[in-house]
Amino acid sequence: MPPAADGPRFPGAAPRADLFRPLRGDSRPGRANPPVLHRKEAFLLPDDPRRAKFARLTAQEERAGLLDETATIGTRAGWDERLRERGYALRGHRLFRSHPPGSGRRPLSDPTNHDGE
């Protein structure tokens, strides 16, 4: 089937959906544990200026083994727990070591951290 006059056919897909809206905050009331979108660069066109930033973060997360088991990291709580247990924290779109893995310490950015760090 030839593409439509306004571009290729993707049933049910909007021509320019904002896939990153949930990352800015979920506006639905009562949503305490919003979904997390990983590997964001896969959803962007090759010439999108955000692509390199997202690809760099994904590469860091892959090297750290954070994306190896995906069953529990699809929500904010699951992702935060994975970062904590592996000793990482995110600052913007960069991954940093926050504490040794398995130390039980929470990242410095965690408001529940009472270690005096």
pLDDT, tens digit (0-9, with 9 covering 90-100), for 29-68:
567 899 999 999 999 999 999 999 999 999 999 999 999 9
In a domain, 83, yes or no: yes
Domain that holds residue 95: 44-110
As for how many domains the chain has, the answer is 1
In a domain, 20, yes or no: no
Average pLDDT in the 85-96 region? 92
Place of tokens 């009331």: 29
Share the mean pLDDT of the chain: 76
Q: Residue 114: enclosing H or E segment and its boundaries? A: none
In a domain, 52, yes or no: yes
Percent of the chain with pLDDT over 90: 54
Instruction: Determine the residue type at 4.
Output: A
Report the pLDDT value the prediction gives residue 109, as an integer from 0 to 100: 46
Of the candidates 60, 71, 68, 66, the residue with the CA atom closest to the CA atom of residue 93: 60
What φ, ψ does residue 26 adopt, rounded to 5°?
-90, 120
In a domain, 91, yes or no: yes
Percent of the chain with pLDDT over 70: 61
Q: Tokens at residue 111, please?
A: 């408001």
In a domain, 68, yes or no: yes
Task: Provide the whole-model pTM.
Answer: 0.62
